[in-house]
Homo-oligomer: A and B are copies of this chain.
Amino acid sequence: MRKIALLTSGGDAPGMNACIRAIVLTSLRYGLEVYGYRHGFNGLLEQEYLNLRAKNVANIIQRGGTILNSARCLTFKSDDAAKVAAKNLDILGIEALLVIGGDGSFRGAKHLANHWSGQVIGLPGTIDNDVDGTDATIGYYTAIETALDSIDKVRDTADAFERIFLIEVMGRHAGFIGLNAAIASAADHIMLPEISRSCDDELENILAHIEAVKKRRGNTSYIVVVTENLWPDGVTSLAQILTEKTQIECRPVILGYVQRGGSPVSQDRVLATKLGAFAVEAALEGKTGVMVGEINQEIVCTELENSWLQKKPLDPYLVKIQQDLFDILKRP
């Protein structure tokens, strides 16, 4: 093998740069030329790339975002688009393409593989951690830390007067960030996609919790962590409903895209580095149509389709702790 290419696709995730660096340095170590396509799959269509050398990846390991930019590429779904991409890759002489992104990006990678003879390997880069085949995705731990930092600050403002704080965190349709941030911040309640109830039941549940907290702790703040996309019209709407029903001020905190940025924490950098190095070695071994991931401290390859066909479950012990042991309704 002589030439390898990579791209970052989908939502930004802290650690993507560390991953790019690992891919580049490992490739150079094995004597490969390495090219980075810009703006995700759009770069493949536009043949917009740069030849990456050691100097391109100096001092990027601590930076959020991605030096290759990321993007969604809605037009990539067509066969024509895949063919254009395949052609561009061949023109450049690329033999393997590494795609850092979430399951949406892997669908794109799989689609490309159906039209291209080169190797395609995925690396899980998304803050939502909703990709099976790896215990954690690149960017996940940083996103938890960002959410946690905000909840810690809200906790400081424990006025005598009760307030209910609804902190909306990301996760798309998975509760990983939410559950971990809730446990780590000692939040009073959590709304997770995996444990869904009807809106009415959910509302009833929260109101019961607020009552129980009031009885036990008197007038203090009450913190609820809510995963995005769960409540119709978002937490601003839920905050209004709760304010009406409880007669307690309910304030929303919407972190939004704040959770996609920031300097990656150590684990995201280390994971990104391991997966980046391993992906290049997997390419040299001829692997294709797989995603590299770390499961139980071992780096493994799983079929790309697995990333969107298999749903990764939450840590059952964590769920039990949150619901059973720390649930104030269950306390004696």
Contact = CB atoms under 8 A, between A and B. Distances in A.
A215 interface: no
Contacts of A108: none
Given A160-B39, A253-B256, A318 B274 contact: yes
Interface in A246-262: 251-262
Interface string A285-325: 00000000000110100000000000000010110010011
A282 interface: no
A113 B257 CA distance: 48
Contacts of A141: 266-267
B160 A28 contact: no
Contact of A155 (B28, B62, B154, B161): B62
Contacts of A252: 254, 256
A243 to B, nearest CB: 14
A274 B277 CA distance: 32
Nearest to A60: B186
Nearest to A26: B325
A277 B255 CA distance: 30
A332 interface: yes
A42 interface: yes
A122 interface: no
B332 A31 contact: yes
19 contacts: A42-B160, A54-B216, A59-B158, A61-B184, A61-B186, A64-B153, A64-B157, A69-B158, A70-B159, A141-B267, A152-B262, A154-B256, A180-B266, A236-B236, A236-B254, A252-B254, A253-B257, A267-B267, A270-B318
